[in-house]
Protein backbone atom coordinates (compact mmCIF):
# COMPACT_ATOMS: atom_id res chain seq x y z
CA UNK A 1 0.00 0.00 0.00
CA UNK A 2 1.38 3.43 -0.93
CA UNK A 3 1.57 5.77 2.06
CA UNK A 4 1.39 9.32 0.77
CA UNK A 5 1.24 11.17 4.05
CA UNK A 6 2.97 8.99 6.58
CA UNK A 7 3.52 12.14 8.67
CA UNK A 8 -0.02 11.65 9.96
CA UNK A 9 0.44 7.94 10.57
CA UNK A 10 -0.30 6.90 14.12
CA UNK A 11 -0.57 3.65 16.02
CA UNK A 12 -3.92 2.67 17.43
CA UNK A 13 -3.53 0.15 20.28
CA UNK A 14 -5.73 -2.95 20.18
CA UNK A 15 -9.32 -2.28 21.27
CA UNK A 16 -10.16 -3.96 24.63
CA UNK A 17 -11.85 -7.33 24.20
CA UNK A 18 -15.58 -7.23 24.96
CA UNK A 19 -17.52 -9.96 26.83
CA UNK A 20 -14.88 -10.72 29.41
CA UNK A 21 -16.38 -13.27 31.80
CA UNK A 22 -16.24 -12.39 35.52
CA UNK A 23 -14.15 -14.81 37.63
CA UNK A 24 -15.10 -15.97 41.16
CA UNK A 25 -11.74 -15.14 42.74
CA UNK A 26 -11.82 -11.66 44.33
CA UNK A 27 -8.11 -11.01 43.79
CA UNK A 28 -8.40 -11.94 40.15
CA UNK A 29 -11.52 -9.77 39.79
CA UNK A 30 -9.58 -6.88 41.31
CA UNK A 31 -6.71 -7.46 38.92
CA UNK A 32 -9.09 -7.69 35.99
CA UNK A 33 -10.83 -4.49 37.06
CA UNK A 34 -7.50 -2.69 37.32
CA UNK A 35 -6.60 -4.15 33.94
CA UNK A 36 -9.78 -2.93 32.32
CA UNK A 37 -9.29 0.54 33.82
CA UNK A 38 -5.86 0.56 32.22
CA UNK A 39 -7.34 -0.44 28.90
CA UNK A 40 -10.05 2.22 29.19
CA UNK A 41 -7.25 4.71 29.84
CA UNK A 42 -5.25 3.43 26.85
CA UNK A 43 -8.35 3.63 24.65
CA UNK A 44 -8.94 7.20 25.81
CA UNK A 45 -5.36 8.18 25.04
CA UNK A 46 -5.55 6.35 21.70
CA UNK A 47 -8.71 8.39 20.94
CA UNK A 48 -6.91 11.59 21.90
CA UNK A 49 -4.00 10.64 19.64
CA UNK A 50 -6.34 9.79 16.75
CA UNK A 51 -8.23 13.06 17.25
CA UNK A 52 -5.00 15.07 17.29
CA UNK A 53 -3.84 13.39 14.07
CA UNK A 54 -7.22 14.07 12.42
CA UNK A 55 -7.26 17.72 13.52
CA UNK A 56 -3.98 18.36 11.70
CA UNK A 57 -5.81 17.91 8.39
CA UNK A 58 -9.57 18.05 9.09
CA UNK A 59 -11.46 20.62 11.18
CA UNK A 60 -14.99 20.59 12.60
CA UNK A 61 -17.52 22.49 10.48
CA UNK A 62 -17.50 26.17 11.50
CA UNK A 63 -20.69 27.65 13.00
CA UNK A 64 -21.24 30.10 10.15
CA UNK A 65 -20.56 30.28 6.44
CA UNK A 66 -18.47 33.04 4.92
CA UNK A 67 -20.77 35.98 4.13
CA UNK A 68 -23.45 34.93 6.64
CA UNK A 69 -22.55 37.90 8.86
CA UNK A 70 -24.52 40.15 6.44
CA UNK A 71 -27.58 37.89 6.20
CA UNK A 72 -30.87 39.00 7.71
CA UNK A 73 -33.94 36.99 8.68
CA UNK A 74 -35.90 38.76 5.90
CA UNK A 75 -33.23 37.92 3.29
CA UNK A 76 -33.16 34.27 4.35
CA UNK A 77 -36.98 34.04 4.32
CA UNK A 78 -37.09 35.45 0.77
CA UNK A 79 -34.32 33.09 -0.33
CA UNK A 80 -36.17 30.12 1.09
CA UNK A 81 -39.38 31.09 -0.74
CA UNK A 82 -37.43 31.41 -4.01
CA UNK A 83 -35.56 28.13 -3.45
CA UNK A 84 -38.84 26.21 -3.31
CA UNK A 85 -40.64 28.19 -6.04
CA UNK A 86 -41.42 26.33 -9.27
CA UNK A 87 -42.34 29.66 -10.93
CA UNK A 88 -38.59 30.09 -11.46
CA UNK A 89 -38.79 27.46 -14.20
CA UNK A 90 -40.26 28.11 -17.63
CA UNK A 91 -43.09 25.55 -17.35
CA UNK A 92 -43.58 25.84 -13.57
CA UNK A 93 -42.32 22.30 -13.10
CA UNK A 94 -39.07 22.79 -11.18
CA UNK A 95 -37.56 24.62 -8.27
CA UNK A 96 -34.02 24.44 -6.90
CA UNK A 97 -35.41 21.88 -4.49
CA UNK A 98 -36.35 19.51 -7.33
CA UNK A 99 -32.70 18.57 -7.86
CA UNK A 100 -31.33 19.63 -4.47
CA UNK A 101 -33.92 18.26 -2.02
CA UNK A 102 -33.71 19.81 1.41
CA UNK A 103 -37.40 19.35 2.33
CA UNK A 104 -38.22 16.57 4.80
CA UNK A 105 -34.58 16.37 6.06
CA UNK A 106 -33.29 15.21 2.68
CA UNK A 107 -29.56 15.29 1.98
CA UNK A 108 -29.52 18.12 -0.57
CA UNK A 109 -29.72 16.25 -3.88
CA UNK A 110 -32.02 13.86 -5.78
CA UNK A 111 -29.96 10.64 -5.73
CA UNK A 112 -30.19 10.48 -9.53
CA UNK A 113 -27.05 9.89 -11.66
CA UNK A 114 -27.97 13.06 -13.60
CA UNK A 115 -31.09 15.16 -13.10
CA UNK A 116 -33.95 15.69 -15.55
CA UNK A 117 -34.54 19.41 -16.18
CA UNK A 118 -37.82 21.28 -16.75
CA UNK A 119 -38.17 19.73 -20.20
CA UNK A 120 -36.94 16.30 -19.11
CA UNK A 121 -33.51 16.75 -20.71
CA UNK A 122 -30.58 15.69 -18.56
CA UNK A 123 -27.21 17.41 -18.21
CA UNK A 124 -23.99 15.38 -18.05
CA UNK A 125 -23.18 15.95 -14.40
CA UNK A 126 -24.45 14.64 -11.09
CA UNK A 127 -26.29 17.15 -8.86
CA UNK A 128 -24.11 17.82 -5.83
CA UNK A 129 -25.64 18.40 -2.41
CA UNK A 130 -26.33 21.99 -1.38
CA UNK A 131 -25.61 21.18 2.28
CA UNK A 132 -22.37 22.94 3.29
CA UNK A 133 -21.82 24.17 -0.31
CA UNK A 134 -21.13 27.71 0.91
CA UNK A 135 -17.90 26.44 2.49
CA UNK A 136 -16.50 25.41 -0.93
CA UNK A 137 -13.74 27.40 -2.63
CA UNK A 138 -16.03 27.77 -5.67
CA UNK A 139 -19.24 26.23 -7.02
CA UNK A 140 -19.90 23.46 -9.60
CA UNK A 141 -17.76 20.39 -10.29
CA UNK A 142 -15.43 22.57 -12.37
CA UNK A 143 -15.54 25.61 -10.06
CA UNK A 144 -16.84 27.92 -12.78
CA UNK A 145 -18.95 30.01 -10.38
CA UNK A 146 -16.97 31.84 -7.75
CA UNK A 147 -19.64 31.71 -5.04
CA UNK A 148 -23.26 30.88 -4.18
CA UNK A 149 -24.55 34.16 -5.61
CA UNK A 150 -22.96 33.64 -9.01
CA UNK A 151 -24.02 29.98 -8.93
CA UNK A 152 -27.68 30.77 -8.26
CA UNK A 153 -27.92 32.82 -11.47
CA UNK A 154 -27.01 29.76 -13.57
CA UNK A 155 -29.73 27.08 -13.23
CA UNK A 156 -32.69 29.44 -13.72
CA UNK A 157 -31.59 30.26 -17.27
CA UNK A 158 -29.93 26.92 -18.08
CA UNK A 159 -31.95 25.24 -20.89
CA UNK A 160 -31.42 21.74 -19.40
CA UNK A 161 -32.41 22.95 -15.93
CA UNK A 162 -35.11 25.57 -15.19
CA UNK A 163 -35.01 26.91 -18.77
CA UNK A 164 -36.27 30.48 -18.26
CA UNK A 165 -35.76 32.50 -21.46
CA UNK A 166 -34.17 35.62 -19.90
CA UNK A 167 -33.47 37.52 -16.70
CA UNK A 168 -36.17 40.02 -17.69
CA UNK A 169 -38.84 37.31 -17.84
CA UNK A 170 -37.79 36.03 -14.39
CA UNK A 171 -38.10 39.56 -12.96
CA UNK A 172 -41.53 40.04 -14.62
CA UNK A 173 -42.77 36.84 -13.04
CA UNK A 174 -41.50 37.82 -9.60
CA UNK A 175 -43.13 41.25 -9.92
CA UNK A 176 -46.43 39.66 -10.90
CA UNK A 177 -46.44 37.23 -7.95
CA UNK A 178 -48.59 38.50 -5.08
CA UNK A 179 -46.08 37.87 -2.27
CA UNK A 180 -42.73 38.91 -3.75
CA UNK A 181 -42.92 42.73 -3.86
CA UNK A 182 -43.32 42.77 -0.08
CA UNK A 183 -40.73 40.03 0.56
CA UNK A 184 -38.11 41.75 -1.64
CA UNK A 185 -38.80 45.14 -0.04
CA UNK A 186 -38.21 43.69 3.42
CA UNK A 187 -35.08 41.81 2.33
CA UNK A 188 -33.53 44.80 0.51
CA UNK A 189 -34.86 47.79 2.46
CA UNK A 190 -32.43 50.34 0.99
CA UNK A 191 -33.21 49.42 -2.63
CA UNK A 192 -35.52 51.59 -4.78
CA UNK A 193 -36.21 48.67 -7.16
CA UNK A 194 -35.56 45.60 -5.03
CA UNK A 195 -36.93 43.00 -7.46
CA UNK A 196 -34.06 42.20 -9.80
CA UNK A 197 -32.10 39.14 -10.89
CA UNK A 198 -29.05 40.01 -8.80
CA UNK A 199 -31.11 40.34 -5.60
CA UNK A 200 -32.86 37.05 -6.35
CA UNK A 201 -29.45 35.34 -6.41
CA UNK A 202 -28.33 37.12 -3.21
CA UNK A 203 -31.44 35.97 -1.36
CA UNK A 204 -31.14 32.34 -2.52
CA UNK A 205 -27.49 32.37 -1.39
CA UNK A 206 -28.51 33.75 2.03
CA UNK A 207 -30.87 30.80 2.46
CA UNK A 208 -28.19 28.34 1.30
CA UNK A 209 -25.79 29.75 3.90
CA UNK A 210 -28.12 28.32 6.57
CA UNK A 211 -27.59 24.78 5.21
CA UNK A 212 -24.87 23.53 7.55
CA UNK A 213 -25.11 19.86 8.53
CA UNK A 214 -23.77 18.45 11.80
CA UNK A 215 -22.47 14.91 12.17
CA UNK A 216 -20.93 12.52 14.71
CA UNK A 217 -17.45 13.05 13.33
CA UNK A 218 -17.71 16.73 14.34
CA UNK A 219 -18.61 15.55 17.85
CA UNK A 220 -15.55 13.30 17.88
CA UNK A 221 -13.30 16.14 16.68
CA UNK A 222 -14.83 18.35 19.37
CA UNK A 223 -13.76 15.91 22.07
CA UNK A 224 -16.46 13.22 22.40
CA UNK A 225 -14.67 9.86 22.32
CA UNK A 226 -17.92 7.87 22.21
CA UNK A 227 -19.27 9.73 19.15
CA UNK A 228 -17.62 7.19 16.82
CA UNK A 229 -17.76 3.38 17.04
CA UNK A 230 -14.50 1.49 17.21
CA UNK A 231 -14.96 0.40 13.59
CA UNK A 232 -15.44 4.02 12.49
CA UNK A 233 -12.30 5.02 14.41
CA UNK A 234 -10.32 2.30 12.67
CA UNK A 235 -11.74 3.58 9.38
CA UNK A 236 -10.63 7.11 10.24
CA UNK A 237 -7.16 5.76 10.87
CA UNK A 238 -7.09 4.05 7.45
CA UNK A 239 -8.40 7.30 5.92
CA UNK A 240 -5.60 9.33 7.53
CA UNK A 241 -2.85 6.79 6.88
CA UNK A 242 -3.61 5.94 3.26
CA UNK A 243 -3.42 9.43 1.77
CA UNK A 244 -7.11 10.34 1.26
CA UNK A 245 -6.48 13.58 3.16
CA UNK A 246 -3.99 14.75 0.54
CA UNK A 247 -7.14 15.93 -1.26
CA UNK A 248 -10.07 15.44 1.15
CA UNK A 249 -9.04 17.79 3.95
CA UNK A 250 -10.30 20.92 5.73
CA UNK A 251 -13.70 21.35 7.38
CA UNK A 252 -15.77 19.79 4.57
CA UNK A 253 -13.07 17.24 3.69
CA UNK A 254 -12.54 18.48 0.15
CA UNK A 255 -13.87 21.39 -1.92
CA UNK A 256 -10.73 23.47 -1.41
CA UNK A 257 -8.69 22.39 -4.45
CA UNK A 258 -8.96 20.90 -7.97
CA UNK A 259 -7.43 17.54 -8.72
CA UNK A 260 -7.35 15.25 -11.68
CA UNK A 261 -9.92 12.46 -11.56
CA UNK A 262 -7.77 9.42 -12.33
CA UNK A 263 -4.50 10.91 -11.15
CA UNK A 264 -2.61 7.60 -10.96
CA UNK A 265 -4.93 5.26 -12.90
CA UNK A 266 -7.67 6.50 -15.28
CA UNK A 267 -11.33 6.83 -14.32
CA UNK A 268 -13.22 4.25 -16.36
CA UNK A 269 -16.10 6.61 -17.26
CA UNK A 270 -14.01 9.68 -18.05
CA UNK A 271 -15.34 11.86 -20.91
CA UNK A 272 -15.87 15.15 -19.14
CA UNK A 273 -12.98 17.60 -19.49
CA UNK A 274 -13.75 19.04 -16.06
CA UNK A 275 -12.11 22.31 -15.10
CA UNK A 276 -10.64 22.62 -18.58
CA UNK A 277 -14.14 23.73 -19.71
CA UNK A 278 -13.94 26.68 -17.33
CA UNK A 279 -10.31 27.72 -17.94
CA UNK A 280 -9.28 26.28 -21.37
CA UNK A 281 -5.97 25.47 -19.69
CA UNK A 282 -4.49 22.08 -20.72
CA UNK A 283 -3.27 21.60 -17.16
CA UNK A 284 -6.90 21.50 -16.03
CA UNK A 285 -7.98 18.60 -18.25
CA UNK A 286 -10.14 16.14 -16.22
CA UNK A 287 -9.58 18.11 -13.03
CA UNK A 288 -12.58 18.52 -10.75
CA UNK A 289 -13.22 20.33 -7.53
CA UNK A 290 -12.48 17.65 -4.95
CA UNK A 291 -15.96 16.80 -3.63
CA UNK A 292 -16.74 17.32 0.04
CA UNK A 293 -17.12 14.01 1.88
CA UNK A 294 -19.61 15.38 4.42
CA UNK A 295 -22.89 13.43 3.91
CA UNK A 296 -21.22 11.30 1.22
CA UNK A 297 -22.94 8.04 2.24
CA UNK A 298 -26.29 9.79 1.62
CA UNK A 299 -25.43 11.42 -1.72
CA UNK A 300 -25.04 8.45 -4.05
CA UNK A 301 -24.52 7.85 -6.93
CA UNK A 302 -20.92 9.01 -7.13
CA UNK A 303 -18.43 11.03 -9.14
CA UNK A 304 -19.06 13.96 -11.46
CA UNK A 305 -21.21 11.87 -13.81
CA UNK A 306 -22.99 9.76 -11.18
CA UNK A 307 -21.83 6.56 -12.88
CA UNK A 308 -20.83 4.72 -9.69
CA UNK A 309 -23.88 3.73 -7.64
CA UNK A 310 -22.29 2.42 -4.50
CA UNK A 311 -19.95 3.88 -1.85
CA UNK A 312 -17.99 0.65 -1.44
CA UNK A 313 -17.16 0.76 -5.16
CA UNK A 314 -16.43 4.53 -5.08
CA UNK A 315 -13.92 4.04 -2.24
CA UNK A 316 -12.17 1.15 -4.01
CA UNK A 317 -11.94 3.19 -7.19
CA UNK A 318 -10.56 6.20 -5.28
CA UNK A 319 -7.79 4.06 -3.81
CA UNK A 320 -6.87 2.79 -7.27
CA UNK A 321 -7.43 5.98 -9.31
CA UNK A 322 -5.95 8.58 -6.97
CA UNK A 323 -3.41 6.63 -4.92
CA UNK A 324 -2.55 3.52 -6.90
CA UNK A 325 -3.64 1.45 -3.90
CA UNK A 326 -5.66 -1.73 -4.17
CA UNK A 327 -7.40 -1.80 -0.82
CA UNK A 328 -8.23 -5.17 0.74
CA UNK A 329 -11.99 -5.50 1.37
CA UNK A 330 -11.67 -5.19 5.19
CA UNK A 331 -10.01 -1.77 4.74
CA UNK A 332 -12.74 -0.72 2.30
CA UNK A 333 -15.34 -1.75 4.91
CA UNK A 334 -13.57 0.34 7.55
CA UNK A 335 -13.36 3.36 5.23
CA UNK A 336 -17.06 3.07 4.37
CA UNK A 337 -17.90 2.78 8.09
CA UNK A 338 -15.94 5.95 8.79
CA UNK A 339 -17.53 7.84 5.87
CA UNK A 340 -20.97 6.91 7.22
CA UNK A 341 -20.16 8.84 10.41
CA UNK A 342 -20.17 11.96 8.19
CA UNK A 343 -23.94 11.68 7.64
CA UNK A 344 -25.63 14.87 8.82
CA UNK A 345 -27.71 14.11 11.91
CA UNK A 346 -31.30 13.42 10.88
CA UNK A 347 -30.56 13.70 7.14
CA UNK A 348 -31.62 10.96 4.74
CA UNK A 349 -31.44 10.17 1.02
CA UNK A 350 -34.44 10.43 -1.33
CA UNK A 351 -34.50 6.69 -2.05
Q: Which residues in this chain contact ligand HEC in the complex, by CB under 6 A?
A: 94, 96, 98-100, 115, 117, 123, 125, 127-128, 130, 133, 136, 139-141, 148, 151-152, 155-156, 161-162, 204, 242-244, 246-248, 259, 261, 263, 267, 288, 290-291, 296, 299, 302-304, 314-315, 318-319, 322-323, 335
User: Closest separation between CB of residue 42 and ligand HEC, Å?
Assistant: 27
Instruction: State which residue, 221 or 336, has the beta carbon closest to ligand HEC.
Output: 336
Instruction: State which residue, 12 or 263, has the beta carbon closest to ligand HEC.
Output: 263
Q: Could you give the CA distance from residue 123 to residue 160 in angstroms, rounded to a whole number? A: 6
User: Closest separation between CB of residue 198 and ligand HEC, Å?
Assistant: 13
Going by the DSSP 8-state scheme, the letter that residue 78 receives in this structure is H
The dihedral through the CA atoms of 104, 109, 112, 115 has a sign that is positive
Paired strand residues for 122: 116
CB 85 within 8 A of CB 95: yes
User: Closest separation between CB of residue 73 and ligand HEC, Å?
Assistant: 19
Q: Could you give the CA distance from residue 124 to residue 114 in angstroms, rounded to a whole number? A: 6
The dihedral through the CA atoms of 169, 172, 178, 179 has a sign that is positive
User: Closest separation between CB of residue 40 and ligand HEC, Å?
Assistant: 30
Among residues 144, 96, 133, which one has the least CA distance to residue 295?
133
User: Closest separation between CB of residue 202 and ligand HEC, Å?
Assistant: 12
Calculate the CA 249 to chain-centre distance: 12
CB 298 within 8 A of CB 344: yes
Paired strand residues for 287: 260, 274
User: Closest separation between CB of residue 203 and ligand HEC, Å?
Assistant: 10
Instruction: State which residue, 43 or 316, has the beta carbon closest to ligand HEC.
Output: 316
Concatenating the DSSP letter of every residue in 221-261 gives HTT-GGGS-HHHHHHHHHHHHHTGGGTS-TTTTS-SSEEET
CB 110 within 8 A of CB 300: no
Instruction: State which residue, 43 or 97, has the beta carbon closest to ligand HEC.
Output: 97
Instruction: State which residue, 3 or 222, has the beta carbon closest to ligand HEC.
Output: 3
Instruction: State which residue, 46 or 109, has the beta carbon closest to ligand HEC.
Output: 109
**Terminal Cα distance for the chain, rounded:** 35
Whether 167 is a known active-site residue: answer no
- Candidate list 69, 146, 161, 182, residue with the active-site label: 161
Coil, helix or strand at residue 285 = coil
Name the residues annotated as catalytic: 161
Amino acid sequence: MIQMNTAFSINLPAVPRPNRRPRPCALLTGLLLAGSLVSVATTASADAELRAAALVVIQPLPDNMPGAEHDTAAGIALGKALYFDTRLSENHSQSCNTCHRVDDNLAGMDNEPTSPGAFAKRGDRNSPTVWNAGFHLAQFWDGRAEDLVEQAKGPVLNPVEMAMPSEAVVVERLEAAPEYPELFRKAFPGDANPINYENMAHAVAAFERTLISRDRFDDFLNGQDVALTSKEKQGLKVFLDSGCTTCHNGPVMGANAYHKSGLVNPYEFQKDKGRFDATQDEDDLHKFKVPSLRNVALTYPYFHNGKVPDLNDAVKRMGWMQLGTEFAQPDVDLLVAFLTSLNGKGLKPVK
